[in-house]
Amino acid sequence: MGLSLNVQDLRVTGAQGREILAIDALSLAPGGSLGVRGPSGAGKSTLLYALAGLVRRARGRILWDATDMIALRPGARTRFRRETMGFVFQDALLFEELSAAANASLAASYAAGARRRAIAAGAREELERLGVPSGGRRVRTYSGGERQRIALARALSGEPKILLADEPTASLDRTMSEALVADLTRRTRREGISLIAVSHDEMLLGAMDRVVTIKNGELVPA
């Protein structure tokens, strides 16, 4: 089962000290899905990266169950992220010279022993489940839709409790987008993974349990 989210008085500032994100409260039940919409530059991706513990200038509380991402030391934050989260980036961020399996199992390089083997096996299973052709092909030969499915397989290979997705359908056509959204929601709901997706795609947002809007770094009342 996924983890619950409870954000309290979150403030993120930029390099010049300007406040770029101000979220008084935001919550998500374990295993729920949340869509985040808003204009470009509104702070959607900043929120997602803050939830992952990937921003430096943040204060307030970001509680995943009882773990406060902001209070954790950098090493503990990295460990928590590695053990509990999967992240699907807008750009798939794949290594072009590697195979689909090598890209999907990349996290195994940072794990040890049985955990490494479990991630590699999970990556193979996810690629098969998502219909990505296997073999020795380098990932640069795959289509846009296949590349995003490889990225999704990579995010899911470690059996995460939390999945964060940043504009995962942005570079895809409608057919590919529909397939990716179906893959994303089917897998997370079956496994009870807590899902937060930032997107302009109304089809993806419509598949979420709840949707919030961010403008000028703040949540807009529904």
* pLDDT at position 222: 64
Give the number of other CB atoms < 10 A from CB of residue 144: 13
On the question of pLDDT at 43 being above 90, the answer is yes
* pLDDT at position 14: 87
Does the pTM of the predicted model rise above 0.95? Answer: no
d(CA 147, CA 92): 7
Question: How many domains is the chain built from?
Answer: 1
- The 10s digit of each residue's pLDDT in 165-201 is 999 988 888 888 898 899 889 889 999 999 999 999 9
- What would you report as the CA-atom Rg of the chain, rounded to the nearest whole angstrom? 17
Q: Range of 68's domain?
A: 5-220
- The 10s digit of each residue's pLDDT in 117-149 is 888 888 888 898 888 887 778 888 888 888 888
The per-type count for the chain, helices as H runs and strands as E runs, is 7, 10
CATH of the domain at 75: 3.40.50.300
